[in-house]
């Protein structure tokens, strides 16, 4: 299995992060497109995680930007803004804005793609797409640990990409 995200020298376009045009003043922007090729034959669904491990020195933990489960097995393109458009039926988990550190209780913010906004330097965001041998049937707003437990022993293949985003004076 391979995944592809359009980048320029491994950097996401501005529109997918804090420098881009946000949907509103919160930590929201349009999600980037993801292309999936050559998944295992027995794939029943896909899941994905987008995590900023470069956030550890800043906040003390990796920052979760996007969690998705039950992406249909026939999906080969997750289009731009899929997090909000509903064009592909999938279940979204909680990003780090839902945690106690930020405490956002609004599912319109904490259960969608949260755009990159590195505060200190350019950050690498780790996108992992998992091909699974079943649907996970998680509830909207699941946590990352619930996703990992549900996927245990059901991962047929996975692919990671490091996607960079730059620091700007916001």
Does residue 53 form part of some domain? yes
Sorting pLDDT into bands at 50, 70 and 90, what band is 19? low
Q: What is the CATH number of the domain that holds 20?
A: 3.90.280.10
- Across 160-168, average pLDDT: 91
Number of domains in the chain: 1
Q: Answer yes or no: are the C-beta atoms of 13 and 20 closer than 8 Å.
A: yes
pLDDT reported for residue 27:
47
Q: What is the overall mean pLDDT for the chain?
A: 92
Task: Express as a percent the part of the chain with pLDDT over 70.
Answer: 92
pLDDT at residue number 25: 46
Is the residue at 149 inside a domain? yes
Q: How far is CA 33 from the centre of its chain?
A: 11
Within-domain flag for 170: no
Confidence of residue 103 (pLDDT cuts 50, 70, 90): confident
Task: Place 170 in a pLDDT band, splitting at 50, 70 and 90.
Answer: very low
DSSP per-residue string spanning 45-61: EEEEEEEEGGGHHHHSS
In a domain, 124, yes or no: yes
- Give the whole-angstrom CA distance, residue 117 versus residue 29: 11
- Judge whether 150 lies within some domain: yes
Give the residue numbers spanning the domain of 152. 2-165
Helices (H), the chain: 56-59, 82-85, 107-110, 144-151
Inform me whether the pLDDT recorded for 28 exceeds 60. Answer: no
pTM score of the predicted model: 0.93
> Is 129 a domain residue?
yes
Query: For residue 23, what pLDDT is reported?
Result: 46
pLDDT tens digits, one per residue of 36-90: 999 999 999 999 999 999 999 998 999 999 999 999 999 999 999 999 999 999 9
Residue 16 lies in a domain: yes
* Band of residue 20 on the pLDDT scale cut at 50, 70, 90: low
Please indicate, yes or no, if residue 127 is contained in any of the structural domains.
yes
């Amino acid at each position: 299995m391979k995944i592809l995200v359009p980048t320029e020298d491994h950097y996401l376009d501005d529109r997918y992060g804090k420098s881009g045009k946000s949907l509103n003043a919160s930590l929201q922007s349009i999600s980037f497109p993801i292309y999936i090729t050559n998944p295992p034959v027995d794939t029943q669904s896909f899941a994905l995680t987008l995590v900023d491990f470069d956030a550890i020195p800043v906040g003390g933990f990796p920052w979760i930007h996007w969690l998705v489960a039950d992406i249909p097995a026939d999906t080969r393109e997750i289009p731009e803004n899929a997090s909000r458009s509903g064009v592909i039926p999938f279940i979204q988990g909680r990003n780090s804005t839902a945690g106690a550190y930020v405490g956002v209780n609004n599912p319109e913010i904490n259960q969608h793609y949260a755009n990159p906004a590195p505060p200190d330097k350019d950050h690498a965001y780790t996108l992992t797409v998992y091909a699974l041998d079943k649907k996970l049937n998680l509830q909207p707003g699941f946590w990352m640990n619930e996703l990992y437990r549900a996927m245990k022993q059901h991962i047929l293949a996975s692919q990671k990409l490091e996607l960079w985003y730059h620091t700007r004076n916001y």
